[in-house]
Structure 1
Amino acid sequence: MFKKLKDKIKREQDGQQHQFHPSNPYYMNSSNQQHLGSPSGKYQSPHVSPPAQGDSSSGYVATPGPPPPQYPQQPPPSWEPPPYHDWTVIPDNSLLPPPPSICYDSSPTANCTMEDGDRAFAWTEANPLWQPQNLTPAQHTAIQHGQLALLKAPTYTGDLLPQKRPGHWKCRTHAKCKDSSILTNLPMYSVFWDSPLHTQQPKTIYFELKVTGVGRGERTLEEAEAGIAVGFVAPPYPTFRLPGWQRASLGIHGDDGRKYVNDTWGGVDFTTTFKPGDIVGIGIKFAPPQKPPSYEPTQRARLLDIDVFFTRNGMREGGWDGNEELDARSEGGTTGLRGECDLFPAIGVFGGVDFEVFFSPEDWIYNPF
């Protein structure tokens, strides 16, 4: 019995070996052929050609579109050092534009009170700018020859003395003279007579002032609580304020050397202080625009080319473009100074000063034309 069972087990083991032997035809036709495929039992890839493009009989469909691109070869790393730069060489910045002007909140020399500033603002709000006035031919001729008179402001304490030559004045203030602007009886620029929009010709206005004394007593120039300013204003103007502090006015102040264009704060650095013996002049040239105004928001109001200039002792010392954009705190910008209003010469004073004014071209040491 045990012998029969042992023979049966042996026959079953021999049958399994024949079933999986490579020579067995069932083994060769089985699905395992894809994995073994060779009498040695090692893996071989199937020898099947891919179907032709468009042949769907085998169920294979080609992926549409071009084949995927090949990534470019990574360039070899470069270990070359960067080019040498000599940091000790100073570049030429002469062709660069000038730096923006720095606006100050106060002047280092003399400042008015906040009450005066508020009162001046309320005054300008209550008194709108005048419309241009049509001068008579005789008045216009007198202006061309510098035959202008000075008008004493209510806050001015001192003397205004006309000289023999028309347009020549000598002035002397008291030591306690408050802020005052001395204006002329007639405008130096008339819209109806002089505007380049009508004449198609440039128009230059200019006058000079000679400083003969600043301060009273033994104070030095730097310690003197006194000053002179020259400029232009469009009327009406609060004459208890210096030119350049309020609407439609510009001025160059000799106590701090700064320019003021509708600037009730501290002005912008421009020149040096006025000293006794200096002959200073200020002028504006209005001309037809060389380029037509653009449609940029900042250029829409540009009607004329405007050159504001300052002279000292017969030499031009500086200037600026009258169309330049002002600081945002200058309410109204350059309204009244763009050639749309009549302009009057203005001389600002405070404290004890001595000076002479020249409106006639025959007395100028600088030729602005």
Structure 2
Amino acid sequence: MADKSYAPPAPPGPPPGYDARPPPPYHNWQDAVPDTAEFPPPPTSGNYYSNAGNASADDAERAHNFCNSTPLYRPAHPPTVVYNSARNYDISPIPPAEFGGSISGHHGRWKGLTRDGNGDCALLTNLPLYFALADSPFVTKGKKTIYFEVKLLGLRAGPTPNDASGLSVGFAAQPYPTWRSPGWERGSLAVFSDDGCRFTNDSFGGKDFTDAFRVGETVGVGMTFELSEDLVSVPKLKVNIFFTRNGQHSGGWDLHEEIDEEAGGVEGLGGEADLYAAVGLFGGVDFEICYHPEGWLYHPW
């Protein structure tokens, strides 16, 4: 673990601090590059501080400045074709400039690797798994669950003794600084493989949560959004995060009960923003991501 063209109608009263501009069009990768099954390597472009050595204080400061100067996008109504793609799990990970390695796949299953010593980076999906203006229980009056799984296929030591390797699984709102693992900056949460800690908008401490992931193990992370029983007294959604290992439920937490203002709060995670599946990577990691229920070991519904 390192330091841990549509013009959408404006929603009434966007949350304070959210970008007044609409987000960029949702990236429907399948429409943009219909015959592409493989992404080429992109061009280079608390409890613990770091036991990996892959993240630096400069990276953290740059990310904090980015988040302070770039508000989360306000949600937008997705076009029908985009929303249907997400509902059919026709989604893909988008490697950022910081990703050094390869990834390929189709039908919701993607296999990849990062080179030894690769710095921290975040793989976010091209489309949200949760669309705030389409999936919110405030709109549907029902419950919404999002989930995906990752299999840890291998870990490779870096070129120096201080280099560690691992991954994290979680969710993030956009825009997110892609040189940081999910969970460390606002609008994100994740569970980390190297020590099992969970982070929610938390660059410093994290919280003890589970055991370290083992090579060959499949882990999953999900979020469930639903209306509170008393919306007058509690005018916000109930949000529960759950974690799985090898097809078995393995703990979770209530987003609001576990709020820690000193660690960063829960901005962007309470159902007010679109949320993307996010996999954080550092060092040399072999992995497989499964977004489609047909490949999951655990079925949350």
TM-score by length of 2: 0.80
Per-residue CA distance 1:276-316 (angstroms, 9 max, x = gap): 1111000000011123353xxxx6xx511111000000001
Per-residue CA distance 1:65-110 (angstroms, 9 max, x = gap): xxxxxxxxxxxxxxxxxxxxxxxxxxxxxxxxxxxxxx51524455
- C-alpha change, 1:217 and 1:121, in structure 2 (3 Å) is closer
- Residue of structure 2 in register with 1:308 after alignment: 241
Contact 1:106 1:267 survives alignment (8 Å): no
After TM superposition, give the deviation of residue 148 of structure 1 in Å.
Answer: 0.6
Separation in 2, partners of 1:321, 1:314 = 21
- Residue of structure 1 in register with 2:207 after alignment: 268
- Residue of structure 2 in register with 1:44 after alignment: none
Structure 1, unaligned runs of 5 or more: 1-102
Separation in 2, partners of 1:142, 1:167 = 11
Structure 2, unaligned runs of 5 or more: 1-45
- Residue of structure 1 in register with 2:286 after alignment: 354
Separation in 2, partners of 1:234, 1:121 = 15
Query: Residue 84 of structure 2: which of 124, 136, 141 is its match?
Result: 141
Alignment partner of 1:247 is 2:186: yes
After TM superposition, give the deviation of residue 216 of structure 1 in Å.
Answer: 4.1
Matches within 5 A, 1:1-369: 104-110=47-53, 112-163=55-106, 166-216=107-157, 225-292=164-231, 294=233, 302-331=235-264, 333-369=265-301
Q: CA RMSD in A?
A: 2.0
Separation in 2, partners of 1:243, 1:218 = 24
- C-alpha change, 1:266 and 1:111, in structure 2 (3 Å) is farther
Separation in 1, partners of 2:245, 2:237 = 26
After TM superposition, give the deviation of residue 329 of structure 1 in Å.
Answer: 2.2
Segment of structure 1 superposing worse, 146-155 or 133-142: 133-142
Amino acid at match of 1:197: F
Amino acid at match of 1:245: W
- C-alpha change, 1:212 and 1:278, in structure 2 (3 Å) is same
Separation in 1, partners of 2:260, 2:226 = 24
- C-alpha change, 1:217 and 1:268, in structure 2 (3 Å) is closer
Amino acid at match of 1:242: S
Amino acid at match of 2:293: P
After TM superposition, give the deviation of residue 326 of structure 1 in Å.
Answer: 2.7
After TM superposition, give the deviation of residue 217 of structure 1 in Å.
Answer: 8.0
Segment of structure 1 superposing worse, 141-150 or 357-366: 141-150
Separation in 2, partners of 1:354, 1:111 = 17
Greater relative contact order (CA < 8 Å, ≥ 6 in sequence): 2
After TM superposition, give the deviation of residue 224 of structure 1 in Å.
Answer: 6.9
Contact 2:227 2:237 survives alignment (8 Å): yes
Per-residue CA distance 1:305-336 (angstroms, 9 max, x = gap): 111000000001010001125333234x1111
Contact 1:191 1:339 survives alignment (8 Å): yes
TM-score by length of 1: 0.66
- C-alpha change, 1:293 and 1:171, in structure 2 (3 Å) is farther
Paired residue secondary structure (2:261): coil
Separation in 2, partners of 1:167, 1:141 = 14
